[in-house]
Amino acid sequence: MKQLLILSLALVLMGSTDPTFKVGEVAPDIALPNMNGEIVKLSSLRGQMVFIDFWASWCKPCRKENPRILADYLKYKDEEFENGTGFTVYGVSLDKKKEAWEKAIAKDSLIWDTHVSDLKGWKNEAAIAYGISSVPMSYLIDGDGVIVAVNPRGDKLEKELKKNRKSESWFKSLFGN
């Protein structure tokens, strides 16, 4: 009984794990500074498949996931999708220290161009707007900014990318599922 009470209390303190936005909805725009202080809007990536990745340098599960995201980026960055050309990552850091953020990007070889953060930690404007209560958290959006997957981690990201490739839809139309 005591364990159940502790577990229930922990779940209440952690908040809801339900995503704020669902598949089929348009992802709200994000406008945050990159490492050079220039504002980069999520909407500037329209026309591509985009993995919106909420993460932080201090988050061990995030850092553990980074090699997989990098592999998917390298494999799919030039692919044609049903609704988009190319694949990229829009990395939203919940760091407070710029040095830690930059060091993690370099150490994990996160070579895509769109790394953003307001360096406000959990008070990050995008994290608040998206209802982020834990990291890692992610959304995969298509070329029109429509959410096609919520929190596709590990092999789920690659499965979603494969599913949305143009060649996959052509194959499906000829041979079915």
92: phi then psi, degrees, rounded to nearest 5: -105, 110
Q: So what's the pLDDT on residue 172? A: 52
CA separation for the pair 28, 147 (Å, rounded): 10
Q: Which CATH superfamily is domain 19-175 in?
A: Glutaredoxin (3.40.30.10)
Residue ranges in the chain whose pLDDT is less than 50: 1-17, 170
Q: So what's the pLDDT on residue 20? A: 79
DSSP classification of residue 39:
E
Angle between helices 60-76 and 155-164 (to 10 degrees): 30
157, 68 contact by CB (below 8 A): yes
Which residues does residue 33 pair with via DSSP β-bridges, in sequence order?
Answer: 39
Closest CA to 158 of 131, 171, 145, 140: 140
Q: Would you tell me how many other CB atoms lie within 10 Å of the CB of residue 68?
A: 14
Task: Find out whether the peptide bond into 136 is cis, omega within 30 degrees of 0.
Answer: yes
Predicted confidence (pLDDT) per residue in 18-67, tens digit: 567 999 999 999 999 999 999 999 999 999 999 999 999 999 999 999 99
Q: What are the boundaries of each domain within the chain?
A: 19-175
